[in-house]
Structure 1
Amino acid sequence: MYIVPVASGKGGVGKSLVSANLAIALAQAGKRVILADLDLGGSNLHLILGMNSINGSIGTLLNNSREKITSILNDTGIPNLQFIPGDSEIPGLANLTASQKRMLVRKLTSLEADYLIMDLGAGTGQTTLDFFLTSSHGIICTTPTPTATVSAYLFLKNAVFRVLQGTVGKTGAGADYLKELFQDKSTLRQVYFPDIARELDIRDPEAGQKFRHAMRRFSPRLIMNMLENPKDAEKINRLRRSAQQYLDLDLLHLGVIFRDDLQDTALSARLPIIRYKPSSILSQAIYRIADKMIQLEADTDGSVLDLETINDSFEAAETEAESDFENRMNYIEELLNTGALSTGDLVETIKSQHHELVQLKKQVNLYRSKVVRAINQGFTV
């Protein structure tokens, strides 16, 4: 079973929508899929799937560790796809104990399926990071906005720290070195993991070897969501370079997804967009990503990805962005010609997008001022 955690550095980037539609696409490809809502404390994946009633939840297992996980497997009505609901009604559920996390992971990985898609909570909470690290190829969902890409980088940085903590253990020279790092907050802000790995090799060679081995196998995958134009696809390259330089981490690009207002219509109809309109640009992008995942698992069979494959994935994403944008413009032109979309509708759409751009510009200016202030105070981002 391929375990695929889906995470994001911040909320509002469409992570749950990607998780739900991707699970459906894999199921339609003939794969046995289980979709688990692990956004504990904020679970709403059943609404995206259009499920009116659910049987049991993650909270059921936490209240009774003897309960079998099969008792909360829900039929979605979609062939090959089963669903495990989360629980947003139990206080403190987002902060699980170590034993609760181990119990949940053990029960989840005991299930029989081809894919286990885990929709995680946004942000860098320990529970989210630990679930993300149950797989070496979890997915980070982000958007072209500066705040989203920076948040994605910070998520990856925290994940690498979690890998480091797991490899050095709680005692020994490596653990002592890690305590020193966490005591110096300025070092943590401008952390450079290649230096940490070299220092760890000197202080605790065994821990250093374990860390390097874990990092070689750690290969997160990216999805860039909510694009407006092809140039947005290039904005992920800064995240890629930062991850390579500071985290010593190579990322694989699974693909891009353009913003589509039809998504809101599908949600109102309580249907995932991949079922509401399979031919939409958004749905086709999801199908493309699902095909890539299936092909990757077949080609690599768990082996470490080579640099050529990684480079190709970023080049392919930029090409796909150009193609999808062209298809999107052709679709709008077709709607205008057939009268399905009036000139007034188009004007309103442009006005709405202009308002979004103004708000985004304000957000960028705010972020820029924070960066300048931080630099003036002697810190680096």
Structure 2
Amino acid sequence: MRILPIASGKGGVGKSLIAANLSVAFAQAGKRVILADLDLGASNLHLIIGCRSPQTGIGTFLSDTRSDFSRVIMDTDIPNLRFIPGDAEIPGSANLKQNQITALAKRLLSVDADILVIDLGAGSHQSILDFFLLSGRGIVVSTPTVTATLNAYLFLKNTVFRLMYSSFSRGSPAHIYLEGLRKEGTALQKLYIPKLLEHISRIDPESHGKFLKRMQYFHPRLILNMLDEPKQAEVALKIRRSCSEYLGLDLEHLGVIYRDSLQDIALASHLPILLYKNEAILSQAIYRIADKILQSEEDEVFLEGRSIEESFQEAELEAEVDFEARMGYVEDLLHCGALSMGDLVETVKSQQLEINQLRKENLFLKSKLTKAITQGFKI
């Protein structure tokens, strides 16, 4: 079974929409798919795939981890797709204890499916990192905004630290060293990983070797969502360079997805965009990404046939092609009268407001980074 955790450093980047629609694409390809809503505390994935309000969910199982897990797996109206609802209303469901994480992970790994898609919550809580690490080929979703790309990088950095921490046996010199830093009040996430690993290799070569071995199987993938123009696709290169230089991590690029107003209509209709309009630009991007995933090798084996460099070059080309198709689609709507000039003007005004807000956000973050650099802080 392939395991596909989908995460993001922050909310509002379209992670759940991508998880739902990828699941539909896999199901349409004849795969037996289970989609699990692990965005605990904000579970609404059932609305996206058009399911009735679930009576049971993850919270039901967590209240009694010895119960039959199959009772929280429900059928959907989409052939080949089953669904595990989350629970947004059960107190504490977003902050799981370690025994709950272990019990839930064990049940998820034993479900009968070809592909398990896991929609994770936003942020870097320990439970989210642990579920993301159920596979070495998880997906991180970002948008071109400064905050989203920074949070995507920080999510991956936190994941590397989690992988590091879990690689060191309790009582080993490396584990004692990390615990010492933590007790001193040092935020591990602020440490420079290459320098930290260099020190660990000297004090505990065995633990260092274990971590490097596990890193060989950790190759996360990126999807850049909500693009407005091809130039924004270049943001992915910045995330890649940061991961390579500061984390020693190879990041594969699965592709880009343009912003599409049809998504809002599909969501209001409680339908995945693939079912609402499968020829939409957004739908075609989802199908393309799904094909790449299905054509890749098994979960824990790193892609060798298609290099990392090629994946980024391919994504840039797709950004150009989709942008041309998107512009042609707008022209068709104008010519046939489905979209008035007034609608187009309002859309441009709305996007201009968003751009101005992003500029303010960018200036604010730049000032914070400048201040941090002057104080000798290094992300």
TM-score normalized by structure 2?
Answer: 0.96
Shift of 1:213: 0.4
Equivalent position SS for 1:108: helix
Letter in 1 for 2:157: K
Counterpart residue type for residue 350 of structure 2 = S
Cα displacement string for residues 263-298 of structure 1 (whole angstroms, at most 9, x for unaligned residues): 11111111111111111000110000100000013x
- Looking at structure 2, the residues matched to 231 and 288 of structure 1 have their Cα atoms a distance apart, in angstroms, of 20
- Counterpart secondary structure, 2:254: strand
In structure 1, the partner of 2:58 is 58
CA–CA distance in structure 1, aligned partners of residues 370 and 315 of structure 2: 32
Aligned to 2:322: 324
TM-superposed CA distance for 1:141, in Å, is 0.4
User: Are the equivalent residues in 2 in contact too, given 1:17–1:48 (CA < 8 A)?
Assistant: yes
Distance in 2 (CA, whole Å) between partners of 1:163 and 1:307 is 26
Distance 2:52 2:238 in 1: 42
Kindly state the Cα deviation for residue 205 of structure 1 after the two structures are TM-superposed. Answer: 1.7
Question: Relative to 1, partners in 2 of residues 1:160 and 1:301: Cα closer, same or farther, differing over 3 Å?
Answer: closer
SS at match of 1:64: coil
The equivalent residue for 1:284 is 284
Secondary structure, aligned partner of 1:50:
coil
Residue 340 (structure 1) aligns with: 338
| Root-mean-square deviation (Å) | 1.6
Match of 2:83 in 1: 83
In the alignment, is the contact (CA less than 8 A) between 1:55 and 1:73 conserved in 2?
Answer: no
Structure 2 CA distance, aligned partners of 1:104 and 1:68? 12
Assess, with a 3 A threshold, how the Cα gap between structure 1 residues 182 and 226 changes in structure 2: closer, same or farther: same
Distance in 2 between residues matched to 1:168 and 1:104, nearest whole Å: 23
How far is the alpha carbon of 1:187 from its aligned partner? 7.7
> Residues 34 and 145 from structure 1, CA distance in 2 versus in 1: closer, same or farther, beyond 3 angstroms?
same
Structure 2, gaps ≥5 residues long: none
For 2:158 and 2:77, the matched residues in 1 are separated by 38
For 2:213 and 2:5, locate their aligned partners in 1 and report how far apart those are by CA, in whole Å.
21
How big is each residue's C-alpha offset from its partner over 1:27-48, in whole Å with a ceiling of 9 and x where there is no partner?
0011110000001111110011
| Per-residue CA distance 1:343-364 (angstroms, 9 max, x = gap) | 1111111111111111111111
> Equivalent residue for 1:313?
311
1:145 equivalent in alignment to 2:158: no
Shift of 1:189: 5.8
Q: Counterpart of 2:205?
A: 205
Q: Distance in 1 between matches of 2:342 and 2:302?
A: 52
Q: CA–CA distance in 1 between the matches of 2:119 and 2:153?
A: 19
Q: Would the aligned equivalents of 1:189 and 1:379 in 2 still touch at CA under 8 Å?
A: no
TM-superposed CA distance for 1:247, in Å, is: 0.5
Change in 2 beyond 3 A, CA 1:187/1:126: closer
Summarize the Cα distance change of 1:301–1:374 in structure 2 as closer, same or farther, 3 Å threshold.
closer
**Superposition map of 1:1-20 within 5 A:** 1-20=1-20
**How many residues get paired?**
379
2-structure distance, mates of 1:182, 1:63: 32
Alignment of 1:1-381 (within 5 A): 1-182=1-182, 188=188, 191-297=191-297, 302-306=300-304, 309-381=307-379
Distance 1:354 1:327 in 2: 22
Alpha carbons 1:35, 1:81 under 8 Å: kept: yes
Q: Which runs of 5+ in 1 are unaligned?
A: none
- 1:30 match: secondary structure: coil
Whether contact under 8 Å (1:20, 1:49) holds in the other structure is: yes
Please give the per-residue CA displacement for 1:114-172, whole angstroms capped at 9, x wherever unaligned: 10000001001111111111111111000000100000011011100000111112212
Relative distance call for 1:47 and 1:301 in structure 2 (3 A) is closer
Q: After superposition, give the CA deviation of every residue in 1:156-206 in whole Å (9 maximum; x if it has no partner).
A: 111000001111122121112212443566784653323333322221122
Query: What's the CA shift for 1:97?
Result: 1.0
2:121 partner amino acid: G
Question: Is the Cα–Cα contact under 8 Å of residues 33 and 82 in structure 2 kept in the other structure?
Answer: yes
* Contact 2:135/2:300 (<8 A) preserved: no
Mapped to 2, the partners of 1:151 and 1:41 lie a distance apart of 20
How far 1:315 sits from its partner (Å)? 0.6
Relative distance call for 1:301 and 1:115 in structure 2 (3 A) is: closer
- The amino acid across from 1:336 in the alignment is L
- Between the aligned partners of 1:366 and 1:236, the Cα distance in structure 2 is 21
Kindly indicate whether the alpha-carbon contact (under 8 Å) linking 1:142 and 1:225 is maintained by their aligned counterparts in 2: yes
- 3-state DSSP class of the match of 2:307? helix
Specify whether residues 35 and 308 from structure 1 end up closer, same or farther in structure 2 by C-alpha distance, changes over 3 A only: closer
Is the CA contact 2:136–2:300 (under 8 Å) kept in the aligned structure 1? no
